Structure 1
Amino acid sequence: MTEPQRKSVAVIGTGMAGLVIAYILRNDPRGRFDVEVFEKQDKLSLDSASHTLTDEKSGEKSERLDLPMRAFADGYYESLKRMYDYLGITYGSPRFIYALSTLSNTAQQVSPYYIHSSNNHQIPPLRPNGFSWASWLVELCYLAVCYYWFTACCFFVTPKTLESSGTEESLRHYVERIRLPVYYVKNYLLPLMSSVTTCSHDALMDFPAIDLVDYERRTFRRKHYTVLGGVHRVQTKLAKGQTPRLGAKVTAVENVGTQVQVSWTDSRDGQSSSRLFDHVILGVTPDVVGTIFQPLRSAMAAVPTTTVQCIVHRDFSKIIDASRSLWTQMSLKTGESAPQPIHMCSNDHATESIHEHPSSALITTYPIAPIDPEKVVYTATFTRVLRSSASRQIVNQIFGQKRSIDEKSQLWRNGDGNVWLVGGWCWDGMVMLEGCLASATRVANALDVEVPWMKRS
Structure 2
Amino acid sequence: MSEKPQKVAIIGTGMAGLITSYILRTDPRFDVEVFEKQAQLSLDSASLTVSSGPDNDQKQHRIDLPMRVFADGFYANLKRMYDFFGVQYASPRFIYTMSRISDPGSTEIHPHFIHSSNNHQLPPLRPKGCSWIEWLMRVVYLAVCYYYFVACCFFVAPRTTSDTGLSESFRDYAKRIHIPGHYIKNYFLPLMSCVTTCSHNQLLDFPAIDVIGYQTKTFRKPHYTVLGGVNKVQAKLSKGQKVRYSAAVTAVENVGSKVKVTWKDGSREEVKSLFFDHVVLAVTPDVLRAIFPPLRKILAAVPTTPVHSIVHRDFARLPACSQVISARLHADNDRSSTHPIHIISNASTTESTHQHPSSVLISTSPIVPIDSEKVISSTTFTRVLRTPTSRQVTLDIFESKPTGPDGDSKQWQNGDGNVWLVGGWCWDGMVMLEGCIASAIRVAEKLNIEVPWAS
Normalized against structure 2, the TM-score is what? 0.96
Aligned residue in 1 for 2:197: 198
Amino acid at match of 1:426: C
RMSD: 1.8
* 1:18-417 equivalent positions in 2, closer than 5 A: 18-28=17-27, 31-53=28-50, 57-59=54-56, 62-105=60-103, 106-161=105-160, 166-320=165-319, 322-333=320-331, 335-337=333-335, 339-405=338-404, 410-417=410-417
Change (3 A) 1:123 1:406: farther
Aligned residue in 2 for 1:451: 451
How far apart are residue 326 of structure 1 and its match?
2.9
Task: Tell which deviates more after alignment, 61-70 or 248-257.
Answer: 61-70
Is the 1:104–1:110 Cα contact (8 Å) retained in structure 2?
Answer: no
How far apart are residue 38 of structure 1 and its match?
0.2
Look up the SS of the partner of 1:113 in the other structure: strand
Is the 1:102–1:109 Cα contact (8 Å) retained in structure 2?
Answer: no
How far apart are residue 370 of structure 1 and its match?
1.3
Q: Distance in 1 between matches of 2:165 and 2:240?
A: 48
Is the 1:289–1:297 Cα contact (8 Å) retained in structure 2?
Answer: yes
Q: Deviations over 1:48-87 (max 9, x none)?
A: 1112225663256932210111100000000000100011
Is the 2:12–2:36 Cα contact (8 Å) retained in structure 1?
Answer: yes
Q: Deviations over 1:84-121 (max 9, x none)?
A: 00111000001110000012523424211111111221
Q: Distance in 1 between matches of 2:292 and 2:161?
A: 27
How far apart are residue 163 of structure 1 and its match?
11
Q: Distance in 2 between matches of 1:114 and 1:314?
A: 24
How far apart are residue 166 of structure 1 and its match?
2.8
Change (3 A) 1:289 1:393: same
Q: Distance in 1 between matches of 2:8 and 2:208?
A: 37
Look up the SS of the partner of 2:296 in the other structure: helix
Q: Distance in 2 between matches of 1:112 and 1:33?
A: 55
Is the 2:341–2:352 Cα contact (8 Å) retained in structure 1?
Answer: yes
Amino acid at match of 2:30: F
How far apart are residue 340 of structure 1 and its match?
1.6
How far apart are residue 332 of structure 1 and its match?
5.0
Change (3 A) 1:96 1:228: same
Is the 2:145–2:183 Cα contact (8 Å) retained in structure 1?
Answer: yes
Q: Distance in 2 between matches of 1:23 and 1:87?
A: 12
Number of aligned pairs? 451
Q: Distance in 2 between matches of 1:244 and 1:35?
A: 9
Q: Distance in 1 between matches of 2:333 and 2:292?
A: 57
Is the 2:170–2:206 Cα contact (8 Å) retained in structure 1?
Answer: yes
Q: Distance in 1 between matches of 2:179 and 2:7?
A: 53
Change (3 A) 1:161 1:4: farther
Q: Distance in 1 between matches of 2:258 and 2:250?
A: 17
Q: Please list every run of 5 or more consecutive structure 2 residues that lacks an aligned counterpart in the other structure.
A: none
Give the % identical residues.
58
Q: Distance in 2 between matches of 1:334 and 1:353?
A: 23
Is the 2:307–2:382 Cα contact (8 Å) retained in structure 1?
Answer: yes
Amino acid at match of 1:45: S
Q: Kindly report structure 1 stretches of 4+ aligned residues shifted beyond 6 Å.
A: 162-165
Amino acid at match of 1:49: A
How far apart are residue 331 of structure 1 and its match?
3.7
Aligned residue in 2 for 1:424: 424
Look up the SS of the partner of 1:122 in the other structure: coil
Normalized against structure 1, the TM-score is what? 0.95
Q: Distance in 1 between matches of 2:147 and 2:78?
A: 29
Amino acid at match of 2:50: L
Change (3 A) 1:334 1:34: closer
Q: Distance in 2 between matches of 1:332 and 1:384?
A: 36
Aligned residue in 2 for 1:435: 435
How far apart are residue 162 of structure 1 and its match?
6.5
Q: Distance in 1 between matches of 2:368 and 2:326?
A: 25
Task: Tell which deviates more after alignment, 415-424 or 324-333.
Answer: 324-333
Amino acid at match of 1:378: S
Change (3 A) 1:296 1:60: farther
Q: Please list every run of 5 or more consecutive structure 1 residues that lacks an aligned counterpart in the other structure.
A: none
Q: Distance in 1 between matches of 2:163 and 2:148?
A: 23
Q: Distance in 1 between matches of 2:108 and 2:450?
A: 51
How far apart are residue 266 of structure 1 and its match?
0.5
Q: Distance in 1 between matches of 2:328 and 2:422?
A: 44
Change (3 A) 1:56 1:441: same
Is the 2:260–2:276 Cα contact (8 Å) retained in structure 1?
Answer: yes
Change (3 A) 1:373 1:441: same
Q: Distance in 2 between matches of 1:74 and 1:24?
A: 23
Q: Distance in 2 between matches of 1:414 and 1:403?
A: 12
Task: Tell which deviates more after alignment, 126-135 or 59-68.
Answer: 59-68
Q: Distance in 2 between matches of 1:55 and 1:94?
A: 18
Q: Deviations over 1:333-353 (max 9, x none)?
A: 555537221000000000000
Q: Deviations over 1:374-403 (max 9, x none)?
A: 111100111111101110000000001412
